[in-house]
């Protein structure tokens, strides 16, 4: 086990790798991304004005933004609730998914027995599990965390599992010819080698995480942006609904951004799985 | 030959899968002296890589005798093997110097000294200044040099090279050949070098072992009696042509 600190330090020594190349082209990329988004908002805004759609069908971005001022909409509570569900379920899925994949690579029989079952379970539409979870656990933040977790778990597990298997046999031979331990193979070769795959699974899971939390809230809840959308729908408060949608998206973007940042820190450019 | 460093007697190796048994080595007998550079040639699939794997202790052999080391030059199978493959197999997430240090880490060698030695070796293989680059920033030839430095970091007594220059272009390959001879002369290591290049085998080797397929055994084993240190001009030496013809003949060409 004495190698573990070393393996960790090995990653921190990379921490500059991603930032070294914050060059002109990176800034240009950021500029383009910003412009495209502003362009989209402008397109929406102009479109609403030109076509003269009524606000209850589609409000302008400004009208949507203004709903933030309505105090009894309790925006912060709902945003916070959904964010907790998204981040909570997601982080749990990353931890458990990676842990499972690691165990699978250590115990081949576990892999042999459990993997086919997991592949089948993965076929269950996770969204359809949500009503059951609510029956079992009652509705609430924790239940929605479980729903989010269930959705995010599989892509992370399966990607990590694939990454752990993706080791050059000759490289293993090289380590074995020096009588390297299994732990050394894991800490120095398998895990860092699987990191790009872990991140690619994590990126897929970000989208699912937001969907999971919202579905949970749609089915039964008393707070959160999903619940809020249902309530405002009944009142035909389309501007508030759109604002809620924007905030849900914001949560997803924050999550995705955090994952990209971590990837930049931990994965050398060339090894990233795009 | 006084005391062989490697002594193989009637070595046999059978690969077993569920249905079939495949005899990859039938009967290999050879002796390699300490500090020799033996080139192993033979048609594809005749068991060259298998022989290296048996020597590296990666595959148990099914018959015969494998002895490495002697009373003067003891051999520790845990740390006296360096390996180089056709692909550099550098770890993408490690800088060049950290890649070179991998075997030292696995063996738990003192870090400071290992680092100094890594710098020395990188200089020797012509990579000083590239220590802190990542593998993707290096050309194929440079990556392979780093792989050679990695094979030397723990100062092993035996280096096993499996078509190390097979993936390089002809010009780089010639350069690497010259450098390998240089490294070999400086380090005085015993090297087993698998190649498909017959010219390369004669150019590099103190000895050449020609393997034949089914039954997989040595068709011939002979010393290359050309002077060292060798330069490219050795290829015009009259004996050079004789050696290459001898090998071509053995391979049925
Ligand atoms: N792990 C294995 N299991 C079963 N058969 C194997 C295994 N490894 C190699 N073989 C078989 O053993 C034979 C010798 O293989 P080996 O890799 O030693 O040949 P080689 O001389 O190195 O060939 P090449 O020049 O193409 O690299 C081949 O026919 C191959 O199919
Ligand atoms: Mg081979």
Question: Is B110 part of the contact surface with chain A (CB cutoff 8 Å)?
Answer: no
Start-to-end Cα distance in chain B: 31
At residue A1 the predicted structure's pLDDT band, cuts being 50, 70 and 90, is very low
Residues 6+ apart with CB under 8 A from A107: none
pLDDT confidence of residue A271: 61
Mean pLDDT of the region A245-252: 96
Cα-only R_g, chain A? 22
Q: Give which of B218, B200, B244 is closest to B26, Cα–Cα.
A: B218
pLDDT in tens, A194-222: 999 999 999 999 999 999 999 999 998 99
- The whole-angstrom separation of Cα A236 and Cα A232 is 6
Mean pLDDT of the region A24-33: 90
pLDDT confidence of residue B43: 92
Here the ipTM equals: 0.88
All residues of chain A having their beta carbon less than 8 Å from the beta carbon of residue B96 are: none
Residues 6+ apart with CB under 8 A from A152: A89, A90, A93, A94, A97, A205, A208, A209, A212
By the 8 A CB rule, do A173 and A226 touch? Answer: no
All residues of chain B having their beta carbon less than 8 Å from the beta carbon of residue A175 are: 102, 106
Residue B161 has pLDDT above 70, yes or no: yes
Long-range CB contacts for residues B244-253, cutoff 8 Å, separation at least 24: B244/B198, B244/B199, B244/B202, B246/B220, B246/B222, B247/B41, B247/B198, B247/B201, B247/B202, B247/B208, B247/B210, B247/B220, B248/B198, B250/B210, B250/B212, B250/B219, B250/B220, B251/B41, B251/B42, B251/B43, B251/B198, B251/B210
The DSSP-derived string for A139-158 is: SSHHHHHHHHHHHHHHHHHH
Query: How many other C-beta atoms are found inside a 10 Å radius of the C-beta of residue B146?
Result: 26
Mean pLDDT of the region B212-226: 89
B109 in ligand 1 pocket by Cβ < 6 Å?
A: no
Question: Is A168 part of the contact surface with chain B (CB cutoff 8 Å)?
Answer: yes
pLDDT mean across residues, chain B: 92
Q: Of A80-84, A209-213, A225-229, B185-189, which range is least confident? A: B185-189
Residue A111 has pLDDT above 90, yes or no: no
pLDDT confidence of residue A6: 37
| Nearest CB neighbour to B134, from listed A168, A175, A270 | A270
Which ligand sits nearest to residue B211's alpha carbon? 1
Residue A8 has pLDDT above 90, yes or no: no
By the 8 A CB rule, do A263 and B84 touch? Answer: no
Q: Is A178 helix (H, G, I), strand (E, B) or coil?
A: coil
Question: Is B135 part of the contact surface with chain A (CB cutoff 8 Å)?
Answer: yes
Is the Cβ pair B91, A184 closer than 8 Å? no
- The whole-angstrom separation of Cα A13 and Cα B94 is 9
Residue B102 has pLDDT above 90, yes or no: yes
Residue A182 has pLDDT above 50, yes or no: yes
Is the Cβ pair A188, B105 closer than 8 Å? yes
**Structure-model confidence comparison of residues A33 and A20, the more confident one:** A33
Reading the block at residue B228, the tokens are: 């060292």
pLDDT in tens, A62-82: 999 999 999 889 999 999 999
Pocket test for ligand 1, best of B50, B55, B211 (most atoms within 8 A of CB): B50
Reading the block at residue A135, the tokens are: 């029956």
Reading the block at residue A15, the tokens are: 């921490």
By the 8 A CB rule, do A152 and A205 touch? Answer: yes
pLDDT confidence of residue B213: 85
pLDDT mean across residues, chain A: 88
Q: What angle do CA B184, B186, B189 make, to 5 degrees?
A: 45
All residues of chain A having their beta carbon less than 8 Å from the beta carbon of residue B154 are: 178
pLDDT in tens, B8-18: 999 999 999 88
| Nearest CB neighbour to A271, from listed B58, B77, B92 | B92
Q: What angle do CA B186, B107, B87 make, to 5 degrees?
A: 65
Residue A108 has pLDDT above 90, yes or no: no
By the 8 A CB rule, do A209 and A259 touch? Answer: no
Residue A5 has pLDDT above 50, yes or no: no
Residue B120 has pLDDT above 50, yes or no: yes
pLDDT confidence of residue A26: 85
């Amino acid at each position: 086990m004495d190698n573990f600190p070393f393996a960790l330090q090995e990653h921190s020594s990379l921490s500059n790798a991603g930032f070294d190349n914050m060059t002109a082209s990176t800034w240009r990329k950021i500029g383009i991304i910003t412009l495209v988004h502003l362009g989209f908002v402008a397109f929406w805004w102009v479109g609403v004005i030109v076509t003269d759609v009524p606000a209850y069908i589609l409000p302008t971005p400004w009208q949507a933004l203004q709903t933030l001022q309505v105090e009894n909409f309790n925006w912060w509570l709902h945003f916070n609730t959904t964010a907790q569900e998204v981040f909570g379920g997601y982080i749990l899925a990353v931890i458990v998914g990676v842990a499972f994949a690691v165990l699978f690579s250590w115990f081949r029989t576990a892999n042999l027995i459990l993997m086919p079952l997991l592949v089948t379970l993965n076929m269950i539409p996770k969204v359809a599990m949500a009503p059951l979870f609510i029956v079992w656990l009652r509705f609430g933040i924790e239940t929605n965390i479980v729903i989010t977790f269930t959705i995010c778990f599989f892509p992370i597990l399966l990607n990590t599992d694939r990454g752990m298997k993706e080791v050059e046999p000759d490289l293993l031979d090289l380590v074995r010819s020096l009588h390297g331990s299994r732990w050394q193979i894991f800490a120095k070769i398998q895990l860092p080698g699987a990191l790009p795959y872990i991140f690619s699974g994590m990126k897929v899971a970000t989208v699912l995480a937001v969907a999971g939390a919202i579905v949970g809230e749609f089915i039964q809840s008393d707070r959160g942006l999903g619940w809020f959308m249902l309530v405002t729908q009944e009142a035909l408060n389309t501007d508030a609904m759109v604002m809620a949608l924007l905030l849900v998206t914001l949560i997803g973007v924050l999550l995705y951004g955090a994952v990209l940042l971590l990837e930049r820190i931990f994965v050398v450019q060339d090894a990233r799985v795009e | 030959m006084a005391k062989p460093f490697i002594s193989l007697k009637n070595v046999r190796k059978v690969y077993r899968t569920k249905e079939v048994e495949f005899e990859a080595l039938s009967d290999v007998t050879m002796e390699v002296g300490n500090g020799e550079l033996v080139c192993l040639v033979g048609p594809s699939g005749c068991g060259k890589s298998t022989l290296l794997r048996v020597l590296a202790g990666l595959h148990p052999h099914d018959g015969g005798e494998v002895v490495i080391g002697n009373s003067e030059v003891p051999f520790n199978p845990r740390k006296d093997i360096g390996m180089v493959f056709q692909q550099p197999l550098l770890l993408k997430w490690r800088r060049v110097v950290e890649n070179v240090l991998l075997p030292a880490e696995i063996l738990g060698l003192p870090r400071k000294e290992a680092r100094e030695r890594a710098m020395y070796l990188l200089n020797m293989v012509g990579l000083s200044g590239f220590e802190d680059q990542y593998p993707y920033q290096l050309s194929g030839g440079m990556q392979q040099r780093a792989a050679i430095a990695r094979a030397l970091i723990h100062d092993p007594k035996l280096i096993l090279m499996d078509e190390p220059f097979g993936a390089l272009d002809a010009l780089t390959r010639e350069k690497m050949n010259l450098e390998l001879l240089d490294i070999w002369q400086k380090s005085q290591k015993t090297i087993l070098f698998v190649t498909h290049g017959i010219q390369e085998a004669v150019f590099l080797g103190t000895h050449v072992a020609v393997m034949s397929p089914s039954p997989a055994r040595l068709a011939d084993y002979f010393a290359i009696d050309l002077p060292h240190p060798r330069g490219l001009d050795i290829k015009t030496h009259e004996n050079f042509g004789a050696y290459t013809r001898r090998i071509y003949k053995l391979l049925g060409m």
